[in-house]
């Protein structure tokens, strides 16, 4: 796989972006930029969990609706969702209608709500690895790392669900805990 691809705007980006305008925006403005805050990381964790088994662009296109129906991913509000809310979410074609993922998001919200303010942020970022050489191609980008395995185990020990090592590595990439922009990508400067 080519490491970078020149977009229709003449800018070199990581090849996974392709030609999709929303993917370009996400890559350029969000992916790999440090993200902090319990609520922001809870949202990222939730969306990455919903992505499991699907493409990220599917989640990205549905993200506005996810934010709407999950109360902006406010852990206090989501933690209070009841059976009626689960059924409401299961009937909403604007999101991924997977009961296990919906229930996990609600359960995870309760776990975040039970934490001290800033605790989720501190926990997640405590697993950020030291800087590493920038990858030259997608073949050099791992699906999991020792750090994503460790954060997955730490979260699962606390009761979190849909936080496997691959999902956690994707979160680490998107939240800027690791920077996997490829050599030649304009963001790799």
State how far the Cα of 162 lies from the Cα of 101, in Å rounded to an integer: 7
Q: Which of 56, 113, 125, 140 is catalytic?
A: 56
Q: Is 31 one of the catalytic residues? A: no
Nearest by Cα to 109 from 72, 84, 147: 72
Helix (H, G, I), strand (E, B) or coil at 112: helix
Are 36 and 125 in contact by the 8 Å Cβ rule? The answer is yes
- Quick count: other Cβ atoms within 10 Å of Cβ 179? 17
Q: Is 23 one of the catalytic residues? A: no
Dump strand ranges (E) for the chain.
Answer: 4-6, 12-14
Are 158 and 111 in contact by the 8 Å Cβ rule? The answer is yes
Q: Which of 23, 31, 48, 169 is catalytic?
A: 48
Beta bridge partners of 14: 4
Q: Is 56 one of the catalytic residues? A: yes
Active-site annotation, residues? 26, 48, 56
């Amino acid at each position: 796989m080519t490491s970078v691809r020149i977009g229709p705007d003449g800018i070199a980006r990581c090849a996974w972006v392709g030609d999709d305008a929303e993917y370009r925006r996400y890559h350029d403005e969000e992916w790999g930029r440090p993200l902090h805050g319990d609520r922001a990381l809870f949202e990222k964790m939730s969306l990455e969990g919903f992505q499991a088994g699907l493409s990220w662009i599917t989640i990205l296109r549905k993200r506005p609706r996810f934010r709407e129906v999950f109360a902006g991913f406010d852990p206090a509000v989501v933690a209070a969702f009841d059976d009626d809310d689960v059924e409401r979410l299961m009937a909403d074609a604007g999101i991924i209608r997977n009961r296990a993922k919906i229930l996990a998001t609600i359960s995870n919200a309760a776990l975040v709500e039970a934490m001290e303010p800033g605790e989720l942020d501190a926990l997640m970022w405590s697993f950020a690895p030291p800087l590493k050489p920038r990858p030259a191609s997608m073949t050099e980008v791992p699906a999991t790392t020792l750090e994503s395995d460790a954060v997955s185990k730490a979260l699962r020990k606390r009761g979190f669900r849909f936080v496997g090592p691959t999902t956690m590595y994707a979160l680490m990439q998107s939240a800027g805990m690791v920077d996997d922009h490829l050599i030649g990508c304009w963001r790799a400067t």
